[in-house]
Amino acid sequence: MDEKPCLFSSEYRHQFRSICTVHLVTVGYGVTVGWTAPIIPLLRSEDTPLPAGPITVEQASWIGSSLCIGGMTGTVLFALIHTYFGKKIGLLLLAVPHLILWSLIWAGDNVYYIYVARVLSGVTGGGLLTIVPLFVADIADRKIRGALGSLTILHINFGVLASYTAGTYLPYYRIPPIMLILPVAYLTLVSFLPETPYCLLRKGRVDQAEKSLMFYRNVTDDSDGAGTGSGTTGATRKTLAFQYEFEALKAFVLAERTRQGITLADFQTPAAIRGLFVGVFVMALNQFSGILAILTYAGTILQQSGTTFDNRYALILLALINICGNLTSFAIIDKAGRKFFLLISTVGVGIFLTMLGLHSYYYDPDADSGQYSWVPVFSLAGVIYSAALGITNVPFFVLPEILPPKLRSIGSTIAVVLLCFFAFFVMKAYPLLLEAIGIHGTLWISSAVCAVGVVIIAFLVPETKGKNLVVEEQQQESEANKTRTNAF
């Protein structure tokens, strides 16, 4: 049996550090995702910092959902940027909307500034969910790709924890100037990372591509002294395995250059149909299970569910539990597999949503129900922990694994645009549904989605653990050629 790889070994050191560096902007995006949970109840109260007074339910729904409008824009925009200019340029540009949005919140004195800031937050989110999974697929060793892919949602949830905590202890206008430091640090550090080997080979820069792969594999040239020079601590010399990987990558890019462009026939292969179906399904499950909406409106849900816990501390506890779920997934997903975690996650979310819905249905605000006041916090903790195991992280790094290589970029873009559309619908509808049919009705809709999701995952979603994304190209290109031949 192969020994489980260690992320912190010298072999993977540069991959791990590079992806953590990229995720500085992901933490910042997580802050904007979680910012609404403590802030919306504040803006709706008489203590609102806005001169115009408390916001309405309709305005609160726009604050939540406008993020998703920016997400659709950012997905398409950054897909074009990384396709034509490379992933490093795309990563650097992610900091721009982030800088502007916190400046708007800092300077803004009405809800319209917040709307624009939330749209720009969505632009950052759509961009990073488009580029970062592909960046991981480009630089990560397949043995640790799942663990590195899990870091995206983990860092978003670090940001959620920070925003829940800051929203509890810091004044409204104190948060923006602190957050402006993050994109500046991000720009500085990412500028030192090399472009991915794949992007450099596409531009014909073979020597730079080899050096880039050597950096990300922590490999030194035979002519250099191993362990000498900047960034080579613990580095190994070139091996046959490294040479094979680089030659396979060159062959992959060469085949990509010489083959014809994407045609309708490429979308008609069994692998493409299955990949696109699974990609759209996992994105729909990610949103219609209600996880993002619950994180966004957690403060409102706790207020209406009858818990006697202090909402400020309950939010911080929920954010910590969210991170614990991510760490669990991060630690063992490359061993247990993607499908297993997605299935367990969906079952858990469905059960705990049903539990919270039942409590809300039977809750009587006029009766003494203090002995059950722990149920909302416990149920939300179960929902969030279960979701963190799979629903919130697996979809984003399984996309490059499930899609045919030729359709990987456009397929990821399609899936993430649909994700943003689904998110807009759910985020806009959730506060209105909470008012119209109550917590129980809203949560039971999401639990029904989870029940359907369990069946689809069990029978239609394949396992992609350890999949070789480069070698697979030859097999699927052959399959596509057969389909084109049959079409004529």
In the chain, the amino acid numbered 464 is: T
pLDDT at 259 exceeding the cut of 60: yes
Average the pLDDT over 88-116 and give the result. 93
Amino acid found at 441: G
> pLDDT per residue over 35-92, tens digit each?
988 888 889 888 899 888 898 888 988 998 898 889 889 988 998 998 899 999 999 9
The CA distances from residue 184 to 86, 116, 177, 221, in Å, are: 21, 21, 12, 33
Q: What is the pTM assigned to this prediction?
A: 0.75
Q: What distance in Å separates the CA atoms of residue 371 and residue 380, rounded to the nearest whole number?
A: 17
pLDDT band at 231 (very low <50, low <70, confident <90, very high): very low
Domains of the chain in start order, with CATH, are 7-193 (1.20.1250.20), 197-221+236-258 (no CATH), 265-487 (1.20.1250.20)
Q: Which amino acid is at 10?
A: S
pLDDT tens-digit series, residues 283-329: 899 889 988 888 778 777 877 777 777 777 888 888 899 888 888 87
Q: Residue 283's CB: how many other CB atoms inside 10 A? A: 24
Predicted confidence (pLDDT) per residue in 155-177, tens digit? 988 998 899 888 878 898 999 99
Cβ neighbour number for residue 107 with a 10 Å cutoff: 11
Q: Using N-to-C axis directions, what is the helix angle for 111-139 and 394-402, rounded to 10°?
A: 50
Q: Which of 55-64, 235-244, 471-480 has the lowest average pLDDT?
A: 471-480
